[in-house]
Amino acid sequence: MAELSYLPDRRQAYENLAKRTNLEGVKSVCMALQQAERYGTPLAQTLRVMAQENRDMRMTEAEKKAAGLPPKLTVPMILFFLPVLFVVILGPAGIRVAQMNLLN
């Protein structure tokens, strides 16, 4: 904010901010602000488009992570879930067979 108040050119203030932070998100916002100012496009429209692009990018990243989840869960499922499932399903039958053998 201080640079915006004393620099005659906002573009330079935006460039300085992008250089100082060295973050990709801040660089893209600064670039969008510079372009909106240069070409006279409404700032609200520019920010809406950027927000939608960021949402789409985050959604794509989440979908990629979700797609990689089943292979990672296969081994834990086999090791921990299936044995318990077999005990729950076959346990009562095993108890009946054992009782029948004891009665005979």
CB 32 within 8 A of CB 53: no
The enclosing H or E element of 42 equals none
Q: Is 22 left (phi over 0), alpha (psi -120 to 50) or beta?
A: left
Question: What's the whole-model pTM score?
Answer: 0.58
| pLDDT tens-digit series, residues 9-55 | 888 888 888 888 888 888 988 898 888 888 888 989 888 998 999 89
Structure tokens at 54: 């960021």
Question: In this predicted structure, what is the pLDDT of residue 87?
Answer: 92
28 contacts: CB under 8 Å, gap ≥ 6: 50
Helix, strand and coil percent figures for the chain, each rounded to 5: 90, 0, 10
